[in-house]
Structure 1
Amino acid sequence: MYFAALLARTDDGWQASDTELDDVESLTDLADLARAAAAEEETVLVCIEQDGAWFGIVRVDGEDDPRVFVSDAAAAMRSAYGEILLSDELLGREPEDLAALDQLVDLDGTEDGEPERTDTAGEDESVEQVPPGPLGDTELLSDLGIAPATVLTLTAEDALGEIAETLGCTDMLEAVR
């Protein structure tokens, strides 16, 4: 089971609200959802957790690119919501649309557009290699009072509670949980 919450900075402090991610298909969609919850161009944190397996934080500051941290990339990759957070850039991969363009214009050197064969006996080609453990911007909460080393030690069971406690909105988060 998933829980997703928006923590938005306002003139009166931080406000928490739960959110549905059913219509979110990309990190861009998620950032747009966060911006819609912001007063002016204030900071919004999108917090996602899955049953103690992993958690993710997306920080959106106005029109800046979203900053992402995922506690366990391999676990998140097995989840629909985790896949949204794990962009090609974050994973250090070539974007999928560039890979598709390479195939379209036959830049791999094969004849007639035939894919190059490699020996992958025993490997499931549909499984993407994603590093286990934390991945992303460990400094995304540093100006809010949570050091990068602390972000790395947060566990999926208590991460959102600790973040909300530091921001002073624990009661609000628990009310929407």
Structure 2
Amino acid sequence: MYFAALLARTEDGWEASDTELDNVETLADLADLARESAADDGETVIVFIEQEDAWFGIVRVDGEDDPRVFVSNATAAARSSYGEILTSEILGDDDDMDSALDELVDLDGTEDGEPEADADVDVADSDGKVLPAGPLGDGRILADLGVSERELLALESGDALGEIAEAIGAGEILEAVR
């Protein structure tokens, strides 16, 4: 079971709405949906997606900028249709894979970005692209809103979205749409 919500940042704070992802087939579709939820052009919209306790994803859309994506567990997300949309976008085509893997956030919170040897278990998605175990994407996606990369990496699936929403000042609003 999935939960998805859109949080749009306005002059008066955050406004949230739950959303159906039935018509979303690409990240571009999701970004368009996010932009439509913004009251004004250029507003920041955060899309939260989670699949029970398996994984969560964050998509950030700032106006017409390209969406930024973070997935808490790439291997778990790749096993679901919406997660596969996010992981495929992060990895891009084969030419972009090396640079996407370079941006893989480390699993142990070390500053040097070197994952522990036993945490380096990879799987392949449906297109045959190798997905690293653990988080994938832009770990600094919410840094300017008060959630550092280190804090984001430390979150366990469970109620991670609630903790994130609380940290950015939208906890009550997110709970209202749950």
| TM-score between the two structures when normalised by the length of structure 2 | 0.78
Q: Structure 1: state its 5+ residue gaps.
A: 96-124
Q: Supply the AA of the counterpart residue of 1:15.
A: E
Q: Supply the AA of the counterpart residue of 1:59.
A: R
Q: Which runs of 4+ in 1 moved over 6 A?
A: none
Q: How does 1:1-177 map to 2 (within 5 A)?
A: 1-40=1-40, 41-88=42-89, 90-91=90-91, 93-94=93-94, 128-177=129-178
Mapped partners of 1:126, 1:63: distance in 2: 29
Deviation per residue, 1:100-147 (Å, 9 max, x gap): xxxxxxxxxxxxxxxxxxxxxxxxx96542111000000110000011
Q: Structure 2: state its 5+ residue gaps.
A: 96-125
Q: CA RMSD in A?
A: 1.8
Q: Which deviates further from its counterpart, 68-77 or 125-134? A: 125-134
Q: CA deviation at 1:19?
A: 0.4
Deviation per residue, 1:17-53 (Å, 9 max, x gap): 1100000000000000000011221000000000110
Assess if the C-alpha contact under 8 Å between 2:147 and 2:168 holds in 1.
no
Mapped partners of 1:13, 1:130: distance in 2: 36
Partner of 1:130, secondary structure, is: strand
Assess if the C-alpha contact under 8 Å between 2:77 and 2:83 holds in 1.
yes
Mapped partners of 2:30, 2:127: distance in 1: 25
Q: Supply the AA of the counterpart residue of 1:62.
A: G
Largest Rg, 1 or 2: 1
What is the total number of aligned residue pairs between the two structures? 148
Q: CA deviation at 1:94?
A: 2.1
Mapped partners of 2:6, 2:127: distance in 1: 33
